[in-house]
């Protein structure tokens, strides 16, 4: 007789382990059918799904046939019993379908925009953010933007700004990068899109300046170079600018992509 259990996990291996634990079996003792393969999230915060598998084995026992009810002797002069007809399955399914359709859909958090000039890059940037922010923040947000000489400055206000900022500003940087691409039009003058929320960028800049000065002092005392944590291009630029103002020290970047770091050393 087939004994089976369903398991889910971030990877197929995790899902198989979960199913094996339910069965109390090792991986080599079961066969596996993959129901759903895992899907990665977009930009680390959109979509994605876990893997789902079915693990099973045969315990060697024949499947038990349903026991037949013993026939009862008919009672003397028993009146015939008339059973009411049962509702058809199709009608039951139709009833369930109606209930699902009547259920209210989950509402997305509201997004309030400023009145940007029609057809401008400012308006296109706000329109893109209005579409994507409800997938990031679970709270209502407000988008305020202004046109400057070199681009568009956007400030996002709301109760759930930590979700918009992300780990070390990664989500905020991704939003800024994508908004700049989506809102650009061929033939237009290049205009940079700058996005902030909760004055995060100003606070982060102050933090980086303090860290750069702290590490610079350590390098001067010990004479040994220091390598900082991986940073975005803009954050590395802030550190380089601080070190340039300190006599006897220099800074440079090493590494590739998201692992690129700033090194502070004595000037050669």
Q: Tell me the pLDDT band of 65, cut-offs 50, 70 and 90.
A: low
Residue with tokens 């750069």: 212
129-139 residue pLDDT tens: 999 999 998 88
Q: Give pLDDT, residue 17.
A: 87
- Mean pLDDT across 19-36: 81
Predicted confidence at residue 4, as pLDDT, reads 86
- Mean predicted confidence (pLDDT) in 245-263: 91
Fold of the 111-198 domain? GMP Synthetase; Chain A, domain 3 (3.30.300)
Using CA atoms, how far apart are residues 152 and 66, in angstroms rounded to an integer? 73
DSSP summary character for residue 1: -
Tokens at 228, concatenated: 């900082």
Interatomic CA distance for residues 228 and 254, integer angstroms: 10
| For range 76-83, the mean pLDDT | 54
pLDDT band at 47 (very low <50, low <70, confident <90, very high): low
Regarding the domain delimited by 202-266, which CATH topology (the fold level of the hierarchy) does it fall under?
Ribosomal Protein S8; Chain: A, domain 1 (3.30.1370)
Three-state DSSP state, 146: strand
pTM listed for this prediction: 0.54
Q: Which residues is 253 bridged to in the sheet?
A: 262
200-248 pLDDT, tens digit each: 999 999 999 999 999 999 999 999 999 999 888 889 999 999 999 999 9
Give one DSSP letter per residue of 152-194, joined into a string.
EEEEEEES-HHHHH-GGGHHHHHHHHHHHHHH--TTSPP-EEE
Would you give the DSSP letter of residue 245?
Answer: T
Answer whether residue 1 shows pLDDT above 80: no
According to the 3-state scheme, what is the secondary structure of 127-144? HHHHHHHHHCCCCCEEEE
| Domains of the chain, residue spans | 2-58, 111-198, 202-266
| Tokens at 2, concatenated | 């087939």
User: Rounded to an integer, what distance in angstroms lies between the CA atom of residue 178 and that of residue 128?
Assistant: 9
């Amino acid at each position: 007789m087939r004994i089976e259990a369903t398991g889910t996990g971030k990877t197929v291996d995790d899902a198989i382990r979960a199913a094996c634990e339910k069965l109390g079996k090792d991986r080599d003792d079961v066969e596996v059918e993959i129901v759903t393969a895992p899907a990665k999230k977009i930009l680390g915060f959109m979509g994605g799904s876990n893997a789902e598998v079915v693990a099973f084995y045969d315990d060697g026992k024949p499947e038990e046939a349903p026991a037949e009810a013993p026939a009862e002797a008919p009672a003397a002069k028993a009146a015939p019993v008339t059973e009411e007809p049962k509702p058809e399955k199709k009608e039951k399914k139709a009833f369930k379908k109606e209930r699902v359709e009547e259920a209210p859909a989950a509402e997305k958090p509201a997004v309030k925009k400023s009145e940007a000039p029609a057809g401008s890059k400012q308006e296109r940037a706000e329109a893109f953010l209005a579409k994507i922010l409800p997938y990031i923040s679970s709270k209502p947000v407000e988008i305020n933007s202004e046109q400057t000489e070199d681009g568009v400055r956007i400030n996002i206000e709301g109760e759930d700004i930590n979700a918009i900022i992300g780990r070390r500003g990664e989500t905020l940087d991704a939003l800024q990068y994508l908004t700049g691409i989506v809102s650009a039009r061929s033939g237009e003058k290049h205009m940079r899109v700058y996005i902030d929320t909760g004055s995060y960028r100003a606070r982060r800049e102050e933090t980086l300046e303090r860290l750069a000065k702290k590490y610079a002092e350590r390098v001067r005392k010990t004479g040994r170079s220091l390598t900082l944590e991986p940073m975005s291009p803009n954050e590395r630029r802030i550190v380089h600018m601080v070190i340039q103002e300190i006599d006897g020290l220099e800074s440079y970047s090493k590494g590739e992509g998201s692992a690129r770091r700033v090194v502070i050393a004595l000037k050669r």
